Amino acid sequence: MESLSRSFEAYQEIKRRILDLRLPPGTDFTEGAFAAELGLSKTPIREALARLRQEGLVDAMARSGYRVTPVTVKDARDLLGLRTLLEGEAAALAATRGADVDELKHLESLCRTSYDPSDRTSIVDFLAANHAFHMAVAQMSGNTRLESTLQAVLEQLERVMHLGLSLTSRAEEIVHEHRDLVGAILAGDSERARSVAVAQSHSSQLMVLTALLSSDAVLTTNLGTIGTPS
């Protein structure tokens, strides 16, 4: 059990660094470096990295350790498109099923978060609140398969969103869109809820892809060197 606990601890720590860009896409590293930094043996580090490889966040490099998987425009576009499909349906189902007052108050409180594009910490906090908002809507849909699939997509999108948000600011728009969605769910208007969720997802897609395509690093398909908050 202790070995599993240490492996999971290493997995969570390395994954968090990848998703919040402390380990940018394309970064090379070794088992030994992480073992020394985290005070663990190489075995739990190796087990953690095997799990991250399965999730597509890490690649093994022949005789030279590991590399954080690059972010490509195609991958970002595919993930954002899937997010649109899932969130539109989740919002429609949430409006159909209705929500109690406490759930709506929780959603509205999550709508108030903003961020500063030049401040890594504020982006981390904003994305955490944004993730919680969309997962709350998915949970209200009552479809646990949809909820778990969206969870995985949003997690994969986190580092893409970090890149996009660090290059532009649309916090006020996002907050407004969230409030519109809460209003549609409150009114029980499933078509309106779907429309708002899809429009919001399209806006995020445009923001992210425009930011990524504005960078010369796209030419190498590795976006880890651009716009990462310091």
Q: What is the pLDDT of residue 230?
A: 32
177 vs 214, higher pLDDT = 177
- Kindly report, residue by residue over 61-93, the tens digit of the pLDDT: 887 799 999 888 888 889 999 999 999 999 999
| Predicted pLDDT at 216 | 54
Superfamily of domain 73-220: GntR ligand-binding domain-like (1.20.120.530)
pLDDT digits (tens, 9 = 90+) for 135-170: 999 999 999 999 999 999 998 898 888 877 877 766
For residue 27, the tally of other CB atoms under 10 A from its CB is 19
Q: What is the pLDDT of residue 2?
A: 52
Question: Among 205, 197, 162, which Cα is nearest to 85's?
Answer: 197
Is residue 39 within 8 Å of residue 28, measured between CB atoms?
no
Alpha carbon distance 129, 151 (integer Å): 14
pLDDT surpassing 50 at residue 225: no
Between 218 and 45, the higher pLDDT residue: 45
Q: What is the structure's pLDDT at 196?
A: 95
Model confidence, pTM: 0.80
pLDDT digits (tens, 9 = 90+) for 192-208: 999 999 999 998 888 88
CATH of 2-68, picked from 1.10.10.10, 2.40.340.10, 3.40.50.1820, 3.30.9.10, is 1.10.10.10
Distance, in Å, from the CA atom of 162 to the CA atom of 222, rounded to the nearest integer, reads: 14
Selection from 222, 219, 195, 210 nearest residue 89 by Cα: 195
Domain ranges of the chain: 2-68, 73-220
What DSSP line would sit under 18-78, residue for residue? HHTTSS-TT-EE-HHHHHHHHT--HHHHHHHHHHHHHTTSEEEETTTEEEEPPP-HHHHHH
